Amino acid sequence: MFARLRFAALIALAVPGVASAADIAPPPKPIMTADAIAGIIDRHLAADWQARGIQPTAPASDAEFCRRVYLDLVGRAPKVSELRAFLDDTEPKKRETLVEKLFTLPSHASHLAAVTRAAWLPQTVTNQQFFFFGSQFEVFLRKRYAENTPADLTVRKLLITPLRVNGANGNQRFIQADPNDPESQSLIGFYQANEVKPENAGAAISRLFLGVKLECAQCHDHPFAPYTKEQFWEFAAFFAELNALPNRRPSDTAPAGPQADKNRLNIPNTDKQVIAKFFDGTSPEWNEVMNPRQELAIWLTKPQNPYFAGNLANRMWAHFFGLGILDPVDEPGENNQPSHPALMEELGRAFAAAKFDNRTLMRGIIRSRAYQLTSKLSHPTQTNPRSFARMNLKGLTPAQLFDTLVAATGYRENPQFKNAQFAFFPQANNPRSLFLNRFASTDKPTEASTTILQALMLMNGDFVDSQTASERAEILAAIFEIPGWDTKKRVETVFLTALARMPSPEELEKFASYVDRAGADDKKRLALGDVFWVLLNSPEFLFNH
Amino acid sequence: MNALDRRTLLKLGAVSASVTLSGWMGRLAQAAADAKAKPKRSCILLWMNGGPATIDMWDRKLDHENGGPFKEIATKAPGLKIGEHLPKIAEFGQNLAVLRGMSTKEGDHGRGTYLMRTGVMPSAAGIQYPSIGALVSKEIGDPTSELPNFISVAPQRFFSQDAYGPGFLGPQHASLVVGDNQFNNNVPNADDVLKVQDLAKPKSVDAVNAAARIDMLRDMQEEFAASRPGGVSRSHSAAYDRAIRLMQSESGKVFDLKEEKDAVRQKYGMNLFGQGCLLARRLVEKNVPFIEVTLGNWDTHGNNFDLVKGLCGTLDQAWSALLGDLKERGLLDTTTIVWMGEFGRTPKINQGKGRDHYANAWSAVLAGGGIKGGQAIGKTSKDGTTVEERPTSSADLMATVVKALGLDHEKTNMSNVGRPIPLADRTANPVTEVLA
């Protein structure tokens, strides 16, 4: 009963909980501001819309914005109390204030880290062999997002971490963590997930941080882009030290030193040896102090490197819009042109000018007109998702979905259950693990698909049933039991908790009369559960819009 | 009629629950008209997860140290000999075509799985290739059927999730999975494991409320899809349509293996693979075009011979029961069976009496509909390490299978990157010798 009261309090009271600006540390003041970034986005898109006769959608309501920004920044929809507080807030800058508040929540760092890990190490999502390395690496990313480490420093740290490769057998390599570096244990997950192979690490780094997918140049010259097989192996040669030799070599123990064979590779099945070289054809001035990965880190993260900044900014864009300005984000070429090339270029420059401050970029994107448009189609010119004239529909990650279910139902999750991240072996009594397993997917967010089994789980599974039709239902029971409310108020609250919005007058009428017609109280309770069930199964709940 | 009116009527008992389906029945009727002329063909993939030691089963090397200890036995087909631990399968020699020239290029579990199940290497150009099951669903499946057109029985998808997906063909061709995440073939309750999870509506909800829920949900879906059109909302509706159809129809009973006589169930073997093969037979009887059944644990890096002998026992019993049942029911001529894993294993036996991954020379087997059995095509060297006759790539195999199903392997479908992609890769050269 105490639990019920606790929920009742949460639901009924508008908690004035949104931190005031004074509670929050002042954001760093980089040269490039968030407003300037929003201005860049608005200017380019407005020009494009005008040139192509596109009419963007109306601005998103406060409720739509609130649900969207919670999902994008902290990985779940808002709870009723959070939503009410935001809707009741009369401050003109409340959207910006909310963003600052969300940055401070631990779930912000963990959500962004999970999303980044899935993008950087997709093999850890679909391949059980690599799963552990992915979670290992996610620890590093979480800390970076919590501290808002500039993106170039994050990448540099990843590239220069010392690697002590073991394993004489070419196929059974592993990397030992560096006992002197507390983050090493986490960072090596990246290289382990890339099978401790120079060609895999090189391909991953080029795809992730230059936005250039080199893989097919591994075996032949790239069919669509001007990259040769030789260039691929020259780039891979920056990671040559992963080719552990049977005997101890200088790089195993010393972080720096003579290059020896650390910067060269044999192209497999040929007699040809290549020395590490950048894509632009230049080479580092090899010296005794810097190892190849350090040289690569410096070249890669130079603010003048347009590939690096533009690619990272584009990836961040894709996080908020469901697809990039260049999309796929790592496949430039004749077949894949950016939808707004000038915007992408300028956004990259702005990100570099902002000293690669992720939050400045996020604030800028969130403040843009495009991000704050409704997803509701109102004109035929808005249908192309790449014109960003209406917010795209995005699928939820399995964790986003379950966290949103938790927020909507009030389910009190066993803290141990929360640690379940391992999608491959579901634990029968742990709903989170069952959802992660059933909803694991590699779909692009704007092409999210639903499976029959997912539909069956949401319709008939124990978890949703226990929260909609049972005495054990947590938030629903509270909504039903609050004294003094009429049916409409109860239906309204079910809408707020499930869909983070008020029902339309027609919806309110329809659902309230459905509940009222049920008859006795216990029947009404079941009917209200039916309404909750309908909302939790609706696409409006299951997607970010 | 709006949803609430329907509910009122329901309460009065004036309308049966099936009427609540009227909204999307129209769409189905249209799809039925589109699909009418398609022949009833089925394909069963017996997927050997981990990479089976085909040298010990289908291509014995009796005069070479690589051959290992197993003997060879004759089959019912003159001249076709196979490994000694498949005696029941040998009885069906006339139906088997052994492809001894498999030569593929991928010895990694994940990429090999993708290669063999899609017929192409994982794409660097961002093309999401469909798995063979989705392809058959698209080409032969009836979009109006109550049962999904692609059903995966006990798949072990951890090597490559993508190799099991519908790719650019879209979510309506995704498989329905039963017996997911099972790694122990000897589960005591295989029939429970092989049921569709969450198929029954919760006990807490009575029939009237359940119908009302679905009505109200349809309204929400339609409203949402009208203002947010596109693939995401379409896929949501498609999955719910399929799920509800399955829940409300009698077809779901096909998954209840307790309907079979005990003796029949025993014949297949009371283990996951055996019961999975029985389920496959039941699904073929219901015209499901593609069913795959997985038998795992073929990754025999150590102690190969004991393990392969044991696995062959399971395989021999289940597969022979399946062939016998299909034959008896007159379904073997319209059901093509494909037996393969992601690669074979090294002819050279390692120090732990194991065999490692080997893609350069191995065997796959075809049987049943569209296949000229009783023969082996292709030949490997005396030591089993290279293919000397009729080298067969994954694309060749894919083309052969789709042709056996009566399809044109050069037919194209539009891909997610706007390029038409043929059913089998353009390099494919179907093994016409085994086509009936």
Nearest CA to CA, how far is A260 from chain B (Å)?
31
Residue A456 contacts residue A462 (beta carbons within 8 Å):
no
Nearest CA to CA, how far is A391 from chain B (Å)?
10
State the best of B232, B249, B350 to mutate against chain A, taking most chain A CBs within 10 Å: B232
Please tell me which of the candidates A223, A465, A539 has its beta carbon nearest to residue B236: A539
Q: What percent of chain B has pLDDT above 70?
A: 90
Between chains, do A510 and B212 touch, taking CB under 8 Å as contact? Answer: no
Q: Which residues pair with B376 in a beta bridge?
A: B98
Q: What is the pLDDT of residues A353-367, one digit of tens each?
A: 999 999 999 999 999
- Position A255 scores a pLDDT of 41
- Position B157 scores a pLDDT of 83
Q: Which residue has the higher pLDDT, A288 or A76?
A: A76
Residue A402 contacts residue A395 (beta carbons within 8 Å):
no
Residue A110 lies in a domain: no
Given the structure tokens 């096909």, which residue do they identify?
B254
- How many Å apart are CA B416 and CA B129, to the nearest integer? 9
Between chains, do A530 and B417 touch, taking CB under 8 Å as contact? Answer: no
For residue A242, count CB atoms less than 10 angstroms from its CB and return exposed for 0-12, middle for 13-18, buried for 19 or more. buried
- How many Å apart are CA B220 and CA B209, to the nearest integer? 16
Res A247 pLDDT > 80: no
Omega prior to A16 cis, within 30 of 0: no
Range B400-427 average pLDDT: 91
3-state secondary structure of B60: coil
Res B5 pLDDT > 80: no
- Position A419 scores a pLDDT of 75
Query: Mean pLDDT in chain B?
Result: 89
Range B234-240 average pLDDT: 89
- Position A27 scores a pLDDT of 52
- Position B63 scores a pLDDT of 94
H runs (alpha helix) in B249-352: 262-268, 272-285, 304-328
Show residues of chain B in contact with A530, CB under 8 Å.
205, 209, 212-213, 216
Sorted by sequence, the CB contacts under 8 Å of residue B265 that are 6+ apart come out as B257, B275, B278
Residue A86 contacts residue A106 (beta carbons within 8 Å):
no
Residue A502 lies in a domain: yes
Quickly state the pLDDT bin for B184 (edges 50, 70, 90). Answer: confident
- Maximum C-alpha span of chain A: 85
Given the structure tokens 């399809």, which residue do they identify?
B407
Lowest mean pLDDT among B32-46, B114-128, B266-280, B326-340: B32-46
Please give the ipTM for the structure prediction: 0.87
Q: Is the dihedral of CA A345, A348, A352, A355 positive or negative?
A: positive
- How many Å apart are CA B146 and CA B287, to the nearest integer? 10
A305's tokens? 């490197």
Please tell me which of the candidates A450, A469, A511 has its beta carbon nearest to residue B236: A450
Task: Report the interhelical angle of B207-227 vs A505-516 (nearest 10°).
Answer: 180
Question: How many Cβ atoms from other residues are within 10 Å of residue A188's Cβ?
Answer: 26
Res A26 pLDDT > 60: no
Res A14 pLDDT > 60: no
Between chains, do A455 and B174 touch, taking CB under 8 Å as contact? Answer: no
Quickly state the pLDDT bin for B408 (edges 50, 70, 90). Answer: very high
- Position B25 scores a pLDDT of 41
Lowest mean pLDDT among B4-13, B187-196, B267-276: B4-13
B311: nearest Cα among B59, B51, B66, B93: B51
Task: Report the interhelical angle of A452-460 vs B231-248 (nearest 10°).
Answer: 70
B89's tokens? 């399968």
Quickly state the pLDDT bin for A269 (edges 50, 70, 90). Answer: confident
Given the structure tokens 């004294």, which residue do they identify?
A483
Residue A370 contacts residue A41 (beta carbons within 8 Å):
yes
Res B15 pLDDT > 70: no
- Position A262 scores a pLDDT of 81
Q: What percent of chain A has pLDDT above 70?
A: 86
Q: Is the dihedral of CA B299, B300, B302, B307 positive or negative?
A: positive
Length of chain B: 436
Residue A282 lies in a domain: no
Overall domain count for chain A: 1
Q: Which residue has the higher pLDDT, B309 or A472?
A: B309
Q: Which residue has the higher pLDDT, A337 or B326?
A: B326
Between chains, do B239 and A449 touch, taking CB under 8 Å as contact? Answer: yes
- How many Å apart are CA A364 and CA A544, to the nearest integer? 20
User: For residue A413, what are the domain limits?
Assistant: 394-544
- How many Å apart are CA B313 and CA B49, to the nearest integer? 16
A451: nearest Cα among B139, B27, B221, B196: B196
- Position A129 scores a pLDDT of 77
Q: Which residues pair with A336 in a beta bridge?
A: A333
3-state secondary structure of B293: strand
Q: Which residues pair with B435 in a beta bridge?
A: B371
Given the structure tokens 């994107």, which residue do they identify?
A365
Lowest mean pLDDT among A32-46, A146-160, A201-215: A201-215
Between chains, do A128 and B158 touch, taking CB under 8 Å as contact? Answer: yes
- How many Å apart are CA B409 and CA B325, to the nearest integer? 29
Show residues of chain B in contact with A383, CB under 8 Å.
229-230
Residue A438 lies in a domain: yes
State the best of A449, A507, A536 to mutate against chain B, taking most chain B CBs within 10 Å: A449
State the best of A172, A382, A450, A509 to mutate against chain B, taking most chain B CBs within 10 Å: A450
How are the residues of chain B apportioned to helix, strand and coil, as percentages rounded to the nearest 5? 45, 15, 40
* Ranges assigned E (strand) in A280-429: 394-395
Q: H or E stretch including B412? A: strand B412-414
Task: Report the interhelical angle of A341-353 vs A358-367 (nearest 10°).
Answer: 140
Nearest CA to CA, how far is A539 from chain B (Å)?
6
Residue A152 lies in a domain: no
Res A25 pLDDT > 80: no
3-state secondary structure of B429: coil
Task: Give the DSSP letter string of A392-425.
Answer: PPEEPPHHHHHHHHHHHH-----HHHHT---TTS
The per-residue b/e assignment along B246-270, b for 16 or more CB within 10 angstroms, e otherwise, is bbbeebbebbebeebeeeebebbbb
A509's tokens? 């009428």
Rg (alpha carbons) of chain B, rounded to whole number: 23
Nearest chain B residue to A531 by CA distance is B213
Instruction: Name the DSSP class of B364.
Output: E
Residue A53 lies in a domain: no
Range A9-26 average pLDDT: 43
Please tell me which of the candidates A376, A460, A543 has its beta carbon nearest to residue B232: A543
Residue A488 lies in a domain: yes
Lowest mean pLDDT among A524-528, B26-30, B379-383, B422-426: B26-30
Between chains, do B202 and A469 touch, taking CB under 8 Å as contact? Answer: yes
Residue A80 lies in a domain: no
Task: Report the interhelical angle of A341-353 vs A34-51 (nearest 10°).
Answer: 180
- Position A31 scores a pLDDT of 77
Residue B317 contacts residue B88 (beta carbons within 8 Å):
yes
Judged by phi (left if over 0) then psi (alpha if -120 to 50, else beta), residue A207 lies in: alpha
Q: Helices (H) and strands (E) in chain B — how many of each? A: 12, 16
Nearest CA to CA, how far is B2 from chain A (Å)?
10
Instruction: Name the DSSP class of B212.
Output: H
Show residues of chain B in contact with A172, CB under 8 Å.
none
Quickly state the pLDDT bin for A126 (edges 50, 70, 90). Answer: low
Q: Which residue has the higher pLDDT, B372 or A437?
A: B372
Of the ranges B167-171, B237-241, B286-290, the best mean pLDDT one:
B286-290
- How many Å apart are CA A449 and CA A276, to the nearest integer? 42
Task: Give the DSSP letter string of A13-69.
Answer: S----SPPGGGSPPPP--SS-HHHHHHHHHHHHHHHHHHTT--PPPBPPHHHHHHHH
Q: Which residues pair with B43 in a beta bridge?
A: B290, B336
- Position B307 scores a pLDDT of 97
Q: What is the pLDDT of residues A510-534, one digit of tens each?
A: 999 999 999 998 999 999 999 999 9
pTM attached to this predicted model: 0.80
Q: What is the pLDDT of residues A371-413, one digit of tens each?
A: 999 999 999 999 999 999 999 999 999 999 999 999 999 999 9
Could you say which residues from 209 to 268 on chain B have a Cβ atom under 8 Å away from some Cβ of chain A?
209, 212-213, 216-217, 220-221, 224-225, 227-233, 235-240, 242-244, 246-247
Task: Report the interhelical angle of A306-321 vs A151-160 (nearest 10°).
Answer: 110
- How many Å apart are CA A543 and CA B188, to the nearest integer? 39
State the best of B129, B159, B169, B236 to mutate against chain A, taking most chain A CBs within 10 Å: B236
